[in-house]
Structure 1
């Protein structure tokens, strides 16, 4: 009888752990994409509840005649596909500042996000996402930009 109860408990725990969605409390890493000429971004994700999280991305470029800093915040809805695969959609906004060829200023943007991610059994997450951004500024970012990026994050 004890073996039967232990077996049922073990099967129940295994079933819940396999079907449970795996959103880590925190994830920190890099988002490697075009980022409107900025390149890689430092990316941080924060778990909110079972299927929602926040993502913050910080990108910058420092060169001889072109300096830009940009931060984007996104609210994401995460849905499981199969085992460790999830897909997500999100929306958010951002702002930044630039100094380009003796012209400096600030800009704002609205962003969307759609992607797929894989959470390994070790604390590693890989993602691929598409993020269109609509910029609001007269000089630097006054158009629609499309960014595809690979994310590599440490989950903790």
Structure 2
């Protein structure tokens, strides 16, 4: 039992002690469901050797719905091996949506609009290639407040591709 605990302690110490250099900047796309937004423009800004900020801007403009959403997360990054990392983060954001007036038969219904606030978490894996490209896959649960529909929970799985500089 003592050997198992010692091994686990040493393994955790090795994982957390490994230093990695995350990019100072990374810009690209985050492609997922994201409650109907589909894709987002994604920007990461390195704060230290193992933390960064991520900002994601999604928008939707269709025949019946217009929406915009901005998410900001603080992420902690841990190296697994070489350019392969995993990360977790916390943050939140704000969004706005509006629907156009619509008809069902001959009856007209007025469109609606609202502003939404949300808290978010983030967990994912990424690979930084030798060339300045980063691929990531993450899961983001979001907890909505005042969205006017269901004041509820939404989640998103997305693939990210970013240019690091």
* TM-score, normalised via structure 1 length: 0.85
Contact 2:114 2:147 in 1 (8 A): no
User: What residue in structure 2 maps to residue 61 of structure 1?
Assistant: 60
Counterpart-to-counterpart distance in 1, 2:54 and 2:145? 21
Question: Would you say 1:144 and 2:143 are equivalent positions?
Answer: no
Tell which deviates more after alignment, 134-143 or 50-59: 134-143
Aligned runs of 1:37-52 on 2, under 5 Å? 37-52=36-51
Shift of 1:139: 2.2
Counterpart-to-counterpart distance in 2, 1:144 and 1:138? 11
Structure 2, unaligned runs of 5 or more: 1-17, 101-110
Q: Give CA deviations for 1:102-128 in whole Å, capped at 9, x if unaligned.
A: 111211000000000000000000000
Structure 1, unaligned runs of 5 or more: 1-18
CA RMSD, 1 decimal? 1.2
Q: How many residues align structurally?
A: 138
Distance verdict in 2 for CA 1:140–1:27, change over 3 Å: farther
Counterpart-to-counterpart distance in 1, 2:148 and 2:35? 14
User: What residue in structure 2 maps to residue 93 of structure 1?
Assistant: 92
Distance verdict in 2 for CA 1:20–1:114, change over 3 Å: same
Question: Would you say 1:110 and 2:110 are equivalent positions?
Answer: no
* TM-score, normalised via structure 2 length: 0.81
